[in-house]
Amino acid sequence: MLLDATVVNAAIGNTLIGDIVRPVVTVVLGGILTAACLKVLRRPRQIAHFLDDVRGEDARPGVPPRPGLMERVGTLEDVAKFNATAVAEAHAAAAEARTHAAAAKEAAEKNAVANGAIAAQLEVIVQSVAQLQPNKGSTMFDRLGRIEKDTATVVGRPVQAPPIDHHPHPGGTP
């Protein structure tokens, strides 16, 4: 509530202090009223700026057009739909990639087991072939030769040494 002049006069009376206080109170009240009026007068300008933003502005010489609020919201909705579609496609691609990765991992594990089995079989074959080559006494070839020689000696016939092929052909004789 603003102070009325009669209330101020009754409170301070007709004294020297009253003569000083009255103009001060008047100036303060005037300042308060001026500030309130300026605030009230600023509101229509702010409302006009807001309405310009909502409506948008047409192009002027040297100034590009500014789209209105509804046009901007429509653009944002289009972008959001596009992004939602892109995200859904990315999720689908990621799920498909996970499926392919799981299948590739399973195939690699099966191949590793198969490769291990093949490697073991190949090692047995290599060792078997090595036993069929002479090496001065420790292979099957050398042992069979000694057995044949011992048998021939016991039976009393001469020992014929088999021809040694130092370059054996894979799969038998050529």
Mean pLDDT of 8-22: 62
Lowest-confidence segment of 26-35, 36-45, 63-72, 134-143 by average pLDDT = 36-45
Query: Taking the CA of residue 145 as centre, how many other CA atoms within 13 Å lie in the half-sphere pointing to its CB?
Result: 17
Q: Are 131 and 138 in contact (CB under 8 A)?
A: no
Nearest 5 degrees, angle CA 73-CA 63-CA 67? 10
pLDDT per residue over 26-62, tens digit each? 888 888 888 888 877 777 777 788 888 888 888 888 8
Helices assigned H by DSSP within 132-160: 140-155
The CA distances from residue 78 to 1, 31, 74, 131, in Å, are 53, 51, 6, 78
User: What pTM value is reported for the model?
Assistant: 0.39
Residue 4: pLDDT band by 50, 70, 90 thresholds?
low
pLDDT of residue 70: 87
DSSP structural state of residue 61: T
